[in-house]
Amino acid sequence: MKYPINLVLIGLVLSCFNINLANADNEAVESLLSEELPINAIEWVSITIKGNTWPELIGPTLNLGDDFSFIPALHSLPSDFSMMKTEVTCTQMLAGEGLSSFRKVEIANLCEYGMDEPVTGVAFHEANDFCNALDASLPTESQWVYAASQVTNDWLTRYGMINYLHSEEPQNELLSYFAAYKEDAYETSEGPLGLLGLYASVWEITQSIWGKNNRAYVIKGGAFDLVNKPWLMHPYLKAAYNENDVVNQNVGFRCVKP
């Protein structure tokens, strides 16, 4: 089929326009990662396993079934480990090695509120590679649960994660704890052991496989967009994450090391 010359010219112009846009995006990312950009050092929190039993916590208020709940009796306690104080930020992720220029542009475009917000839109292997480059790994579900369980029942109740469903009115303290968007990783609420954003910031990827599906992984901690579902912030509750999901803007990660 032959096309009028004006349509051919329009197509060429649009192609050049798209290439220029891609180049502009790449230049923006290169500028973003210039030496002038201060990259916050990664802080680690040491977690010592105390005793030989899991911490006692109020159980989840909803009967979601075993697939959606961590059952301590079925899991061995982890060994001592260190966990990143914050979730991995956009700046840290983009400064890492291994991402193509195209992926850097895609990820940077999801960092809508600032480069120190938790990075989202990453595939499992990208998160895993980032951690491995630090001689670290993604946490197991057991490690994540143990760290998140270093809270009192009063803490869980105070933030509405237990009693919210039985309240007649939304609890202001709970509502103020959540945001309608991703927050700066260094400004999220402090949780157990001084870990920031462990609850209600973004879901956090673990290396634990979801059931028998070796292409899905357990994610923990809930996210900023779950103000009406605070029970998902309980340490025992979990959700599934597809290993190649690079679209979801409420799933991030942090690393652990021995």
7-16, 131-140, 151-160, 205-214, range with the lowest pLDDT: 7-16
Q: Which are the contacts of 77, defined by CB distance < 8 A and separation ≥ 6?
A: 49, 52, 53, 54, 142, 146
Beta carbons of 157 and 93 less than 8 angstroms apart:
no
Distances 84 to 79, 123, 244 between C-alpha atoms, Å = 16, 19, 23
Same domain membership, residue 179 and residue 77: yes
Copy the structure tokens of residue 120.
């989202």
**Residue-number span of the structural domain to which 46 is assigned:** 42-257
Q: Does a structural domain hold residue 70?
A: yes
pLDDT at residue number 112 = 87
Same domain membership, residue 95 and residue 1: no
Same domain membership, residue 9 and residue 100: no
* Domain count within the chain: 2
Q: Is 216 helix (H, G, I), strand (E, B) or coil?
A: strand
pLDDT at residue number 8 = 31
Strand order in the sheet with 256-257: 44-47, 81-84, 256-257
Same domain membership, residue 119 and residue 14: no
Please compute the mean of the pLDDT values over residues 71-98 and round it to a whole number: 94
Same domain membership, residue 216 and residue 112: yes
Q: Does a structural domain hold residue 37?
A: no
195, pLDDT greater than 50: yes
pLDDT at residue number 177 = 53
How many whole angstroms separate alpha carbon 95 and alpha carbon 105?
A: 12
117, pLDDT greater than 90: yes
How many whole angstroms separate alpha carbon 94 and alpha carbon 27?
A: 13
Same domain membership, residue 113 and residue 94: yes
pLDDT at residue number 113 = 85
Same domain membership, residue 205 and residue 166: yes
163, pLDDT greater than 70: no
Q: Does a structural domain hold residue 95?
A: yes
pLDDT at residue number 214 = 84
Same domain membership, residue 132 and residue 10: no
How many whole angstroms separate alpha carbon 124 and alpha carbon 130?
A: 10
15-24, 32-41, 76-85, range with the lowest pLDDT: 15-24
Q: Give the domain CATH number at 202.
A: 3.90.1580.10
**Residue for token digits 């933030």?**
159
In the chain, the percentage of residues whose pLDDT exceeds 90 is 50
Q: Does a structural domain hold residue 55?
A: yes
Task: Name which of 182, 44, 33, 40 is nearest 99 in CA terms.
Answer: 33
Q: What's the whole-model pTM score?
A: 0.82
| pLDDT classification of 250: cutoffs 50, 70, 90 | very high
φ, ψ for residue 123 (rounded to 5)?
-80, 160
